[in-house]
Amino acid sequence: MTPTDLPEWHVLAQRRRALEQIHIADLFDDDPQRTERFSFEAASLSVDLSRNRIDSGTLRALVALARASNLEKQRDDLLAGAVVNATEARPAWHTALRSTPTDPFVDPAWGARLQAERERFLQFAEQLRAGHVAGATGLALETVVCIGIGGSDLGPRLVTEALGPARRPCVRFAANLDPADLDAALAEANPHTTLLLAISKSFSTLETVENLKAALRWLKQRAPELDPKSHLAAVTSQPDRATALGIDPARVFTFPEWVGGRYSLWSACGLGIAIAHGRKAFGELLAGAAALDAHFAKAPLESNLPVLLGMLGVWYVNFWGIKTRAVVPYSQALQRLPAYLQQLEMESLGKRVDRAGAPLSIDSAPVVWGEIGSNAQHSVFQFLHQGTGWVPLDIVMIADHEGGDQHRTQLLNEFALAQADALAWGDRIVGDEPQPSHRAAPGNRPSTLVRLARLDARSVGALLAMYEHRTFVQSVVWNVNAFDQWGVEIGKQLLARRTRAAGA
């Protein structure tokens, strides 16, 4: 059975037709309590869905479709470590990485293994932060260059930056094969006090291996007397490949094969986060994600944040024909959130066949894009307000900005709310006088407000877990495997063939 065969799908098609001529502003006029009724909270996050093109009946119908798609069973399988990645015969058990020893979803044996490796890499991070990890000449390592790409880079880099600048050690990142990226990461670094941290699940990803080799050449050119082994560490699920490149086994940290790259920041792949911000912050990051996991597992679907957000995505893609969605974080520290979500959603959901291998008869992943506010107001918001089509967007805000210039941070949040209102109401929010066509803004353009209680590790952990589960919810309805990425592999295979032919 395909999703379109379900009666619940046809109910939603009828609701779509009924809402065609209804303006978002009219929904507020008809329901003075709309904001309260369409706002939900969990794990230090609050989500306001009131400015979307939905009514209460539509929300109930979306939840009914989720149930009819067997979401609850598939959610439980995911959280329990069942094989949900059929093409690779693996679980996708990233939630176990942030579990506690008493988590009922995690087998005690697995829990002990994960806890032991977590303790191992956190101890290394704390020793390095305390100045107790030395390079070849006995000087403490003070600069860490994390070399990875894709999920090995995007998540750890996002969180490291989101939690603010670290005094020492200085943690930098390099991902692109373009030499300029690694050059920038190594700029002004002292080879005697620099650690090269290679992060790769397979330890065969060409960009990462080549950048690591280039970084080693830099080390040898700048300080030929150094033993490079004292300046290397690695994170991988293939430790033998790392040690084969000369990395000390004591500095090779591992994670299970069933952890996908885009879900790996909770594992040793997040070592850069722990080095920059410490054991306590990393623990809070995991705790925030675990709190959202518990909410996803236990909250009724009618008030379940990932379920509601995921089904809203289905609503816009499949019943309104939306091809893109935007994410605008009103926080400079979250500037990499759109790029992180691009990978999470488009790699997970960019599939053309269902889990049985049959071609999809409906659209799946929209293009995800975004920019930070308030910068976006002077670039892409023209398109959002007056473009020929409309794009649903998430506006991500920090409820409590601690420290800094309170006046400007208050203005930042006011800007976010003003844009959400302008998108929803259009011209009518500033007066009844008609505008000339070149100035007219029709409104009726949906947005979702996502608020973090504050910009700290716990809230960031909850935010990213919420988007992970939102993505999974959509994969269930669309009946696609969210955990493989064979479209990425074909490029790797072709590159390997070309480099062999060229003798590179």
The confidence score (pLDDT) of residue 166 equals 81
What does the pLDDT average to over 136-152?
A: 97
Walk across the sheet containing 393-400 and list its strands. Answer: 39-42, 45-48, 447-454, 393-400, 324-329, 367-370
CA–CA dist 503, 468 (Å, integer): 41
pLDDT in tens, 35-66: 999 999 999 999 999 999 999 999 999 999 99
Cβ proximity of 326 and 369 under 8 Å:
yes
Tell me which residue of 163, 443, 463, 157 sits closest to 327, measured CA to CA: 463
Contacts of 311 (CB under 8 A, 6+ apart): 62, 63, 65, 66, 473, 477
Residue at 259 is within a domain: yes
Cβ proximity of 306 and 476 under 8 Å:
no
Q: What percent of the chain has pLDDT over 70?
A: 99
CA–CA dist 193, 210 (Å, integer): 22
The confidence score (pLDDT) of residue 406 equals 81
Q: Are residues 222 and 249 both part of a single domain?
A: yes
CA–CA dist 262, 154 (Å, integer): 8
Q: What is the CATH number of the domain that holds 66?
A: 3.40.50.10490
The length of the chain in residues reads 504
Contacts of 351 (CB under 8 A, 6+ apart): 360, 364, 365, 478, 480, 481
Q: Are residues 305 and 414 both part of a single domain?
A: yes
Q: Are residues 312 and 415 both part of a single domain?
A: yes
pLDDT band at 501 (very low <50, low <70, confident <90, very high): confident
Q: Which of 207, 284, 347, 468 is catalytic?
A: 347
Residue at 501 is within a domain: no
The confidence score (pLDDT) of residue 167 equals 78
Q: Are residues 435 and 388 both part of a single domain?
A: yes
> Taking each helix axis from N to C terminus, what angle separates 151-162 and 271-298, rounded to the nearest 10 degrees?
90
Residue at 123 is within a domain: yes
Residue at 498 is within a domain: no
The confidence score (pLDDT) of residue 490 equals 81
Cβ proximity of 58 and 19 under 8 Å:
yes
pLDDT band at 7 (very low <50, low <70, confident <90, very high): very high
Q: Are residues 79 and 178 both part of a single domain?
A: no
Q: Are residues 231 and 341 both part of a single domain?
A: no
- Whether residue 502 is predicted with pLDDT greater than 70 in this model: the reply is no
pLDDT in tens, 155-210: 999 999 999 988 789 999 999 999 999 999 999 999 999 999 999 999 989 999 99
Residue at 291 is within a domain: no
pLDDT band at 503 (very low <50, low <70, confident <90, very high): low
Between 2-6, 137-141, 209-213, 486-490, the lowest mean confidence (pLDDT) is in: 486-490
Q: Are residues 111 and 85 both part of a single domain?
A: no
CA–CA dist 315, 190 (Å, integer): 53
Q: Which of 73, 229, 280, 378 is catalytic?
A: 378
Q: Are residues 133 and 63 both part of a single domain?
A: no
Residue at 503 is within a domain: no
CA–CA dist 149, 160 (Å, integer): 15
Distance of alpha carbon 315 from its chain centroid, rounded? Answer: 21
Q: Are residues 342 and 222 both part of a single domain?
A: no
Q: Are residues 352 and 250 both part of a single domain?
A: no
Cβ proximity of 93 and 258 under 8 Å:
yes
The confidence score (pLDDT) of residue 367 equals 97
Q: Are residues 107 and 124 both part of a single domain?
A: yes
* 323 carries an active-site annotation: no
pLDDT in tens, 310-346: 999 999 999 999 999 999 999 999 999 999 999 999 9
- Whether residue 436 is predicted with pLDDT greater than 90 in this model: the reply is no
The confidence score (pLDDT) of residue 104 equals 74
Q: Exposed (0-12), middle (13-18) or buried (19+): which is 261, by Cβ within 10 Å? A: buried
Cβ proximity of 322 and 388 under 8 Å:
no
* CA distances, 390 to each of 81, 312, 338 (Å): 39, 15, 18
Cβ proximity of 201 and 153 under 8 Å:
no
CA–CA dist 249, 252 (Å, integer): 5
Residue at 389 is within a domain: yes
Which residues form the domain of 71?
Answer: 3-90+299-488
Q: Are residues 101 and 76 both part of a single domain?
A: no
Tell me which residue of 204, 145, 203 sits closest to 175, measured CA to CA: 145
pLDDT in tens, 337-370: 999 999 999 999 999 999 999 999 999 999 999 9
Q: Which residue has the higher pLDDT, 494 or 299?
A: 299
In degrees and rounded to multiples of 5, residue 159 shows phi and psi of -70, -45
- Whether residue 504 is predicted with pLDDT greater than 60 in this model: the reply is no
How would you classify the pairing of strands 194-199 and 232-236? Answer: parallel
Residue at 293 is within a domain: no
Q: In this structure, what token pair is assigned to residue 108? A: 């005690």
The confidence score (pLDDT) of residue 427 equals 87
Total domains in the chain come to: 2
CA–CA dist 61, 209 (Å, integer): 49
* 492 carries an active-site annotation: yes
pLDDT in tens, 393-433: 999 999 987 777 788 889 999 999 999 999 999 988 777 77
